[in-house]
Structure 1
Amino acid sequence: MSLVTGMRSNNKEPAGVVVTGGVTPNSLGIVRSFGRRGIPVVYLDSGPRSIVSYSRYIKQRIKCPSADESEDEFIRVLLDFGGRIDNKMVLICTLDGDVLALSRHKRELEQFYYVPMPEFDTVEKLVYKRNFYRLLAEMGIPHPKTWFPQNLDQVRVMGREIAYPYIVKPSYSPTFQWKFGLKCFVVNSTQDLGRAVDRLEGRGIDVVIQEIIPGRGVYEFFTYLPGESEPLGVCGWDKIRYYPTDFGSGTFCESVWHREAVERGLQFLKAIGYCGMASVELKKDPRDGEYKFLEVNARVTLQHRLAAACGVDIPYIAYRDACGYDVPDIAAPSSGVIWVDDFVDLLPFLTHIKRREVGIGEIVKSLKPGKVHSVLAWDDPAPVIVRAVKSGMSALRLLRRRYTGSAS
């Protein structure tokens, strides 16, 4: 049976969901969430090494470049597929480049899909950090002090005048992460500044300079706003560990409700007329006790299955609302639920132990059973097996480089 035939339905249920790209547990969690409910899932496979493509809950994989690789081809594939299905499907994305492309072509895509995401102008203000921090400054919203160099010469000049430490971070994160495997450069000295500028030379990457707020903890909440009304679901968590360590994606998180942070984040989203799924990251500054905005992602966040485990499945809420179905009232999210990024979290955990930054309480939480896993699932074992093999091969390559380097 072909995909298109298999996706047709005689009832009022839409044909299913299309998960656009992403090779991380972010996309995998969405695939499993809808697949377990019997909702057909189409996965746009943009990565040759994707663990997501091994999930048994995918009804069909469509090879497609990511929007960052070719926006025209990305949209063409979606329009071509949309023209061959009878019932509208819901588009859900996990990548910044994809949400930019989908929002830019939202009107065309709405012929065939439900597209529960903001307008392009709003997405552009959030995805590009230069725009985002300027917007925060214009609105008088607390955030880390940020400088806006126009070129690398200005990075050198400004960098020498700013007190260390600070970070040099990209305006558009995906390109930077793809080239360097990092979210930012940490600058502790003139030598670090020189190395950062040298690495950026000739790359064409726009960057900003930003102060570092002391402390480890970052708070994130994930929500869905259907428009100008109140959010239909909210769940938050403390990011306790990250990879890369200190400035990276959360790898060990615990659900908790910080009312002040949530209220500030929602107030901002409403002020800009936001609609769709969003994750908001803030950090409490110990110097003045204020929550400072770090970023707002206009897409599904990596830890969204933590919210689901707490009783707030945001992508499913967005799906039901986009399709015009009733969304049941959501109870207050559970606190104290732990989410861990399988295998990846081991690296920052060992780093913090080496630094003597891990207390007994964190060790107990790390060993606690019943955690929510990013990849491990007994009903869908293939992705975790693939990740285990790949993680093992990566560790061997790292050891080999260290061994050969020390031996030479």
Structure 2
Amino acid sequence: MPFEADPDVPGLVVKFGDYPLHHGGVGAIRSLGRAGVPMYAVTEDPYTPAAASRYLRRAFVWPTSGTEDAGRLVEGLLRIARRIGRPAVLVPTDEEAAVLIAEHRGALAGPFLFPPVEPGLPRRLASKQGLHELCVEHGVPSPAAAFPGSYDEIAAFAETARFPVVVKNREAFVRRSRPAVHGTTRVATRAGLLSLARDWGERPGVILQEYLPREQAEDWIVHAYFDRDSTPLALFTGVKVRSWPPHAGMTANAYVVDNPELADLAARFVKQIGFTGIADLDLRFDRRDGRYKLLDFNPRVGAQFRLFESEAGVDVVRAMHLDLTGRRVPEGEQRAGHRYVVENIDLPAWLAYRRSGYTTPHAPARASGTELAWLAGDDPMPFLTMLARFVRPGARHLYQLWRTSRRGGGPSGTGA
């Protein structure tokens, strides 16, 4: 490996909520563990794929819902810090963890190492409304959007809107409590929108967004790590080939594709807003006007980050650890043409995309190499644990998502 990580500074993968089949956390454990970094992780129970990794020194079993009082979560992290016994680099894999770390950095600094991001910025970036406002402020293209405050405002919007429209929860955190919609949802008609809206209460927490038709669009992703001056020390671009549910949600298959225009757009936006740390961006290229439109800015590690690695062996998690421990992040080109596959969801996604006839023009005809989300020859247990936990409930969940995608409207959008 052409760089040397500091073996005296461990890493702690942090997430809140009950979703044990998370390949991004497994990827972070393997990435730093292979570089000689002692790894720890917060897990729901002792039998998650992350807890089974040979590169994990210890799993801190801590069941959470993601809706706990912030003070309780901070105290829980500090208890873990005392058990580790030395400062550790925090690796957040969900918005709840990223926001908590930023907003309580005074209490967490010292026991932990993390980028000095402005405390209120991750929450604003995780919010659909906050991100849209930042895009407008800095001249970054994004889909047209409305943020209704009542049912009457939704009805007024429906009178003039061009359907279909996309409905999303305004704030990322409501997915843990009472979401208005389950994931990104495409609504085909005015009547359909008004019918859905009747269940949203007096203060609907939704964003109504312009629909970018998949026949005229391409889904792109950017993963990067930015230092305290918002300078990219690692920045990668790729194209999403398939996701699950189809054309929505989690990446199932993606390729590394060089895109200097997209890299420049992301770097300029991050510099303008002053973000520091790991970022996972989803953008949709609209062929109708030739612009990349920013859909999501995840201020944390993206689940598919292991797609991206430089010729120097650096990914965004390694870049962060090197930077926070005072070591130089070596430069290197990204591995163009490399492919990423999430085994448990790519097969149903492939079947759905084959049925629809949709293809991604920028996907290479042949991969230069493949990174699997779960299966690794040097660390097989996470894959086997995933299979054991996935087969029955996972098959039922995939079937439910398939039925949702086939109903009128169905989901649409992007996600991590």
Aligned twin of 2:248: 247
Counterpart of 2:348?
347
Q: Partner letter of residue 185 of structure 2?
A: F
Contact 1:26 1:302 survives alignment (8 Å): yes
Give aligned pairs, total.
388
Aligned to 2:236: 235
Is residue 2:279 matched to residue 1:285? no
> Helix, strand or coil for the counterpart of 1:92?
strand
User: 2:226 corresponds to which letter in structure 1?
Assistant: L
- CA deviations 1:214-254 (Å, max 9, x no partner) are 33521111111112263111111101111111121211100
Residues 235 and 312, structure 1, Cα contact 8 Å, conserved in 2: no
Relative contact order (C-alpha < 8 Å, sep 6+): which is higher? 2
One-letter amino acid of the structure 1 residue matched with residue 144 of structure 2: K
- C-alpha spacing 1:98/1:265, structure 2 compared with 1 (3 Å): same
State whether residues 126 and 171 of structure 2, in contact with CA within 8 Å, keep that contact through their aligned partners in structure 1: yes
* Aligned positions of 1:183-262 closer than 5 A: 183-201=183-201, 206-215=205-214, 216-228=217-229, 230-262=231-263
Range that drifts further, 158-167 or 355-364: 355-364
How far apart in 1 are the matches of 2:139 and 2:191? Answer: 34
Amino acid at match of 2:43: D
Is the contact made by 1:223 and 1:234 (CA closer than 8 Å) also made in structure 2? yes
Shift of 1:399: 9.8
Secondary structure of 1:380's partner?
Answer: coil
2:13 to 19, 26, 48: 19
* Corresponding residue for residue 176 of structure 1: 175
Q: Which residue of 1 aligns with 2:164?
A: 165
Aligned position for 1:405: none
Distance 1:177 1:159, change over 3 A: farther
The 1:389/1:317 distance shift into structure 2, 3 A limit, reads: same
1:312 to 311, 314, 323: 314
SS of corresponding position for 2:376:
coil
Asked if structure 1 preserves the Cα contact closer than 8 Å seen for 2:138 and 2:269, the reply is: no
Using a 3 Å threshold, how does the CA distance of structure 1 residues 373 and 401 change in structure 2: closer, same or farther? Answer: closer
1:126 corresponds to: 125
Return the offset for 1:75.
1.0
Q: Indicate how the Cα distance of structure 1 residues 224 and 273 shifts in structure 2: closer, same or farther if over 3 A, else same.
A: same
Moved more, 260-269 or 173-182: 173-182
- Quote the Cα distance in structure 1 between the aligned partners of 2:99 and 2:395: 37
Alignment RMSD, CA only?
2.9
**Does residue 89 in structure 1 map to residue 88 in structure 2?**
yes
**Which residue number in structure 2 is paired with residue 3 of structure 1?**
none
TM-score by length of 2: 0.85
Deviation at 1:391, TM superposition (A): 3.4
Deviation at 1:273? 1.1
Q: Distance in 2 between matches of 1:360 and 1:279?
A: 22
Name the one with the larger helix percent.
1
Separation of aligned partners in 2, 1:66 and 1:221: 29
Kindly indicate whether the alpha-carbon contact (under 8 Å) linking 1:26 and 1:303 is maintained by their aligned counterparts in 2: yes
Q: Distance in 2 between matches of 1:120 and 1:49?
A: 34
Q: CA deviation at 1:38?
A: 2.6
Indicate conservation of the 8 Å contact 1:91/1:116, yes or no: no
Residue 41 of structure 2 is matched in structure 1 by 43
Correspondence for 1:69:
67
SS of match in other structure, 1:69:
coil
The change in CA–CA distance for 1:105 and 1:53 in structure 2 (over 3 A counts) is: same
Change (3 A) 1:401 1:149: closer
Letter in 2 for 1:61: A
CA contact under 8 A between 1:182 and 1:244: conserved in structure 2? no
Q: Write the deviation string for residues 328-368 of structure 1: whole angstroms up to 9, x where unpaired.
A: 2x211121111011121112211111122258997965xx6
Aligned twin of 2:141: 142
Change (3 A) 1:240 1:177: farther
SS in 2 for 1:240: strand
SS at match of 2:248: coil
AA in 1 matched with 2:239: D
Q: Residue in 2 aligned with 1:406?
A: none
| Whole-angstrom distance in 1 between the partners of 2:66 and 2:109 | 21
Equivalent AA in structure 2 for residue 69 of structure 1: T
Runs of 5+ consecutive residues of structure 1 not aligned to the other structure: 1-10, 403-408
Moved more, 276-285 or 11-20: 11-20
Q: Percent identity of the aligned residues?
A: 24
Q: In structure 2, do the counterparts of structure 1 residues 138 and 338 end up closer, same or farther at CA, with 3 Å as the change threshold?
A: same
How far apart, CA to CA, are the structure 2 residues paired with 1:113 and 1:361?
Answer: 41
Structure 2 counterpart of 1:80, which letter?
R
